[in-house]
Amino acid sequence: MADTFTDKDTYQDTFNPHGYLCTYYDLKDGILVVDGFLSFALKKLHEAFTKHGVKGDVLLHIGHGPVIYQDLFACEVFKEIIGADCTDRNREYYEKSLRNEPGTFDWTDVIKTVCEMEGKGKTVEEKREKLRNTVTKTIRCDVTKSKPTEPLVLPQVDCIMTHLCLQAASKDQEAYRNVLRNISSLLKPGGCLIITEVLNCTYYHVGGRRFSSASLNKEFMKDAITEAGYTILDYEVMFRKYDKEQYEFSNHDSTLFVLARKIRDSL
């Protein structure tokens, strides 16, 4: 059923990391490539870490799934990146991708694009090595808990980055507000939050299985992020052209990127 919430146990048991990447990030026909999501995300991440000057000692990448491209920019301006995800197979796949193990998704062309955007003359292998050296570990994280990384206790970090994670972990907008407050407890006052979500999405498919998504809109997101104790530094929406076949995989109609600074603990 479309309105059935996909809980963390279902992700643990059934989510296919490689199938997800092939469906959504294949450079020829991946859903998030064809609809412009990937290009938009790369542009906005580049701006965050250059134009907006986001940097620091530790960045926590929450809900990384099997995806590494977001860390390609961050590894240049943070001393350490800590990955965090709720499923064992996503953490395992993420680590294999960092090592570029045979059989993992090929990020070579995306890495080339990032190197070109940065304009520092880095080769693909130099960028891979920089990323491997900066990501120190990936830990278990459950954003639905008030202490998402328990029993591990982390010092508050300088930046939290999360992409297409919080809405997948939330059954509705109120749950989204809660998970946003939960992860905010891990961020230092003055630290930055980077979020990418898709809007007006209720489901997406991987390997023939339907996964739920909390339906978000831009007005709700502004309100939720502000209420959680942030001031918004960058906020941009990219609209998606309707395509019936692609909408059958994921019914989002736009993508939202937000960069915000924590000014206080959530109410």
Contact assessment for residue 207 and residue 16, using Cβ atoms and an 8 Å cutoff = yes
Q: Whole-angstrom Cα distance, residue 66 to residue 73?
A: 17
**Residue 143 labelled as part of a binding site:** yes
Q: Determine the Cα–Cα distance for residues 267 and 246; give it in Å rounded to an integer.
A: 39
The Cα 16–Cα 66 span in angstroms is 9
Does 85 count as an annotated binding residue? yes
> Alpha-carbon torsion 230, 42, 17, 173, what sign?
positive
| Residue spans of beta strands (DSSP E) within the chain | 56-62, 78-85, 135-140, 157-163, 187-199, 203-206, 209-212, 230-239, 254-262
The reply to whether 90 sits in an annotated binding site is yes
* Residue 206 annotated as part of some ligand binding site: no
Q: Is 71 annotated as a binding residue?
A: no
Tell whether residue 142 is among the known ligand binding residues.
Answer: yes
Nearest to 24 by CA among 206, 253, 228, 222: 206
Distance CA 198, CA 240 (A): 10
Q: Is 106 annotated as a binding residue?
A: no
Phi and psi torsions of 222, nearest 5°: -60, -45
Q: Could you tell me which residues are annotated as the binding site?
A: 20, 25, 69, 85, 90, 142-143
Q: Could you tell me which residues are annotated as the binding site for S-adenosyl-L-methionine?
A: 20, 25, 69, 85, 90, 142-143
